[in-house]
Amino acid sequence: MADYYETLGVERTATEEEIKRAYRRMSRKYHPDIAGPEYEDKFKEVNSAYEVLSDPDKRRMYDAGVDPNDPGSGAYGASGPFDMGDIFSQFFTGAFGGGGEGPIPRTQPGRNTIESMVITLKTAVFGGTQKLEYHTMGVCEHCEGTGSEDRKPPVTCPQCHGTGHVQKVVRTLLGQMMTSAPCDRCEGHGTIIEHPCTVCHGHGRVPTRRTLDVPVPAGVADGTRVRMDGQGEVGECGGPAGDLYIDFRVRRDRQYTRDGDDLHCWISVPMTWAVLGHETTLETFDGERSLEIPAGCQPDQQIELKGLGVTHLGGDGERGDLIAHIEVQIPTKLNDRERKLIDEFGQLRKDGDRSIDAQGSKPVAAQKKGFFSKIKDAFS
């Protein structure tokens, strides 16, 4: 019996989420479109393993020694651990007529899918539409999802007569017992497809790579998850599709940093602009905007541009602000004329006559750190 846990690279105690993550990793690794056609058999093994381990009932059977994918295995073997609860349950079910749960429907709902999408900060500000490529289970086009090569409906199983269960003798710790087990001819469905599809092998679905236009909500933040109904895995034999969950990741922007719904940037201006004031332009996500540097501008001074920040998520279209942090360039190399002019300026201001007022601690206003200082401390 194939070791499905080893195929997916997980422990026997793996959770449902761990199995799903392992399947996504292995299916991408061995998908023929990515790894090459020589890995098609390995890809099928991965899908077979996931089909069993992702289904609680099939996994329970597999752990007890029965491979649901093997039509020839009808009883529990010695390789798997015995579950006494299952043994007694099946014994008493079989003793009172068998097949208590009835046949397993062929039409099964599809599972949900989780994908990640990387977007730019500008897309997060305004929203938009972005294409997503992902692997999932799609309808088999060869049989149109019926699972049948000739598209004929299934017929009643001649072995279990539609019950999906048969009486079997199993060896247990208490000796031989008569119990009811899933029919190995129809795999518990009660019906059989006389001519299974040669592409999907009777499941009505195949691994598929899809491309989807995803609407990105304006104001979405890093880590936000949205749901798209019916865009997950297609169910078996025409079953309804699961949902697609998308986790957004916002790519770091070279110019702007986001803080809530506000955008922050740092601009370096000449000392003369800070002293005399100056009107310049700033490239924003809304295009060029005028930026007024006030006369006497101080280092780390903030200039706000209202309404040029991030759109409020799920709001009425209002936006945060764009905040420009001013860094003043102090010249480090002066020629003789520049030095003379600066010296004359200092004499006019009588800077040389001023005394230094030393203090034992910083004023409260100076101790308060701005947004930029906090970022520098975080990087330190």
The share of the chain scoring above pLDDT 70, in percent, equals: 82
Question: Helices marked H in 208-300 — which ranges?
Answer: 271-276
How large is the average pLDDT for residues 69-94? 46
pLDDT at 365 over 50: no
Q: pTM for the whole thing?
A: 0.60
Residue positions forming the annotated binding site for Zn(2+):
140, 143, 157, 160, 183, 186, 197, 200
Which residue(s) pair with 132 in the sheet?
Answer: 212
What is the pLDDT, as a whole number, of residue 156? 94
What fold is seen in the domain 98-154+193-252? HSP40/DNAj peptide-binding domain (2.60.260)
103-106: list long-range contacts, CB under 8 Å, 24+ apart. 103/160, 103/162, 103/163, 103/164, 103/165, 103/186, 103/188, 103/189, 103/190, 103/191, 104/164, 104/182, 104/187, 104/188, 104/189, 104/190, 105/189, 106/147, 106/154, 106/189, 106/191, 106/236, 106/237
Residue positions forming the annotated binding site:
140, 143, 157, 160, 183, 186, 197, 200
Higher pLDDT, 378 or 153: 153
Q: In the chain, which segments carry CATH 2.60.260.20? A: 98-154+193-252, 257-354
- Comparing 47-51, 68-72, 93-97, the range with the smallest average pLDDT is 93-97
At residue 331, the 3 state secondary structure works out as coil
Q: How far, in Å, CA of 246 to CA of 228, rounded? A: 8
pLDDT in tens, 238-258: 899 999 999 999 999 999 999
Domain covering 257-354 assigned CATH 2.60.260.20 in the classification: yes
Q: How far, in Å, CA of 60 to CA of 277, rounded? A: 76
